[in-house]
A and B are shown apart, each in its own frame.
Chain A
């Protein structure tokens, strides 16, 4: 092979990585980041659904309306309350479940499979079955409530209970996932250390705090981050259970966005909701990023 041939081959080699990375990146640019940028632009326009490609630039008009609208603040509050409670309850229950089935016992694999049902069932199917269980007249929950003398509840149509009901379904879906992540992490706890703690007479709670928790903390943090992100993203369950109602008591930003766009036909206004959602998502990502950097530092020490 001639020297020049080799050289041109080496010259080509510099471009090889791009031959691999460009197709997927171009794909994401076209179908993810360009739309995202466009949604940011649309939030400054008065675009309506009749002609989605032609909206007039109106500056901060949408945001001025948004920040005067009590429905927006309610939606922001619902999103935050829903997210925080989902994370706290979901992670706690997932952690408890993981610790409960960590040690071997008879029928463990069956129990493990059943505990994962909520995570494995598609969101729409989960919504349908819970809708039926929440049914005011014929649902099992009210039948049991009546049987024990509590009377009927408006699980999904009363502002007192709707968010709690949606939360219950969400926790049913996410706690199994947390359990799965924590179970995997629990396998990394060295058996000798646990045994040693036991022999030293440590009670289960202090063993957990001193030995187990440090091992599974990164996994719990990761699970908490994912549950946070998913709670901000979640649409199907909330939309199908309550449609954001009653009186907006379950209308998260995502539900509100979709309704503003495709029921209110105001795409520009919906994009303004989206802009707020993006800020929220970026905030969560930034918190995760900082936490991750600190963890890396700790580990390298």
Chain B
């Protein structure tokens, strides 16, 4: 029995090792490629280990990519979308968690639908609508489009958290005729801060990562977020790969850090709705 057990254990570690290499290698390769010189990448051959001595070259090369401006635009899009979807999402979450009302089932159905409908299906009508209202080629228009998809997720996460808050906590305030809106903002929301943080991270990075809407609605290069800016290098002949992947790494790091931080919360919010695609 013992040797068989040992074999199973060895196989398990081998499997874990293979999985770690396959899952981790692309990110490792992104970092080492960024630290290669372009003469190495396209000429003498890529060095497979991190050449930290090339860091100054990478920094000076990043100067050729307007990554600062792109990240700033990305930040505006992500933060604006987060504020809007948390505000609307907490209202919807509170209504679904605390009230019975006509059409509640339909609201649930609509929220579910937003998670199944591909973004591309409303691309064309939104484009037409944005032309009419002057929202094409504007960060505002992009934020408004993004929030349609992040609001329901924020709502699901927040509703789940509110369901766990006992009604007794707000009961006395309601008897004292405290307006329900104040009950939400003064009593409930402070109690579910961890879930608000999780919903904020999800909404923020939905906006941070978004590409389809941004690449369609923004023509002005100065408005591009990093996703569109970085994608603009695709198909170019002899792309400055180290700078592009260096910028891509800078763009990825916040997402990696925050998603790893809230991974468990995301799964908890999953029982009710989809989160990140």
Binding site for B on A (CB under 8 A): 16-21, 23-25, 27-28, 31-36, 38-39, 42, 47, 52-53, 96-97, 100-101, 105, 111, 113-133, 138, 140, 143, 172, 176-177, 180-181, 183-184, 204, 222, 226, 229-230, 232-236, 240, 243, 254, 257-258, 261-262, 267, 270-271, 274, 277-278, 281-282, 284-285
CB atoms of B151 and A27 under 8 A apart = yes
Task: Give, as a whole number of angstroms, the nearest-CB distance from A119 to chain B.
Answer: 7
Q: Which of B121-157 contact A (CB under 8 A)?
A: 121-129, 131-132, 144-145, 147-149, 151-152, 155
Nearest CB of chain A from residue B132's CB, rounded to whole Å: 6
- 27 CB < 8 A contacts A-B: A17-B99, A20-B95, A21-B92, A24-B89, A28-B111, A28-B152, A35-B125, A47-B128, A111-B20, A116-B259, A118-B26, A122-B255, A124-B227, A125-B30, A128-B230, A128-B233, A128-B234, A128-B245, A129-B30, A140-B48, A172-B22, A204-B8, A222-B270, A230-B274, A270-B124, A271-B124, A274-B121
For B89, the chain A residues whose CB sits under 8 A away are: 24
Partner of A21, one of B30, B107, B233, B256: B107
Q: Is the Cβ of B211 less than 8 Å from the Cβ of A123?
A: yes
With A52-B131, A124-B211, A180-B266 given, is the CB distance from A129 to B120 under 8 Å?
no
Query: With the chains together, A100 CA to B113 CA distance in Å?
Result: 35
Pairwise interchain contact B274-A226, C-beta atoms closer than 8 A: yes
* A31-B148, A270-B124 given; A123·B209 CB < 8 A: yes
Nearest residue (CB) in B for A226 is B274
Instruction: Give the chain A neighbours of B233 by CB distance below 8 A.
Output: 128
Bound Cα distance from A111 to B241, whole angstroms: 28
Q: Is the CB–CB distance between A32 and B251 below 8 Å?
A: no
Closest to A174 in B: B277
A35 touches B24 (CB 8 A): no
The residue in chain A whose Cβ has the minimal distance to the Cβ of B260 is A113
Binds A, one of B11-19, B51-59, B164-172: B11-19
Q: How many A-B residue pairs have CB under 8 A?
A: 267
9 smallest A-B Cβ distances: which pairs? Answer: A17-B99, A20-B95, A35-B125, A52-B128, A120-B259, A17-B101, A35-B122, A24-B92, A21-B95
**Is the beta-carbon distance between A20 and B180 smaller than 8 angstroms?**
yes
Please, how many angstroms separate the alpha-carbon atoms of A31 and B129 in the complex? Answer: 9
CB < 8 Å neighbour of B120 from A31, A42, A125, A277: A277
A180–B259 CA distance with the chains assembled, in angstroms: 12
Nearest A residue to B89 by beta-carbon distance? A24
Expressed in whole angstroms, the Cα–Cα distance for A176 and B256 within the complex equals 13
- Chain B residues with Cβ below 8 Å from A17 are 95, 99-101
Chain A contacts of B227 at CB under 8 A? 122-124, 236
Bound form: Cα–Cα A137–B124 in Å: 38
- Partner among A16, A33, A123 whose Cβ is within 8 Å of the Cβ of B180: A16
Cα distance A230–B79 in the bound complex, in angstroms: 24
Q: Which of B124, B234, B276 contacts A131 (CB 8 A)?
A: B234
B29 lies within 8 A of chain A by Cβ: yes
The reply to whether the CB of B96 lies closer than 8 angstroms to some CB of chain A is yes
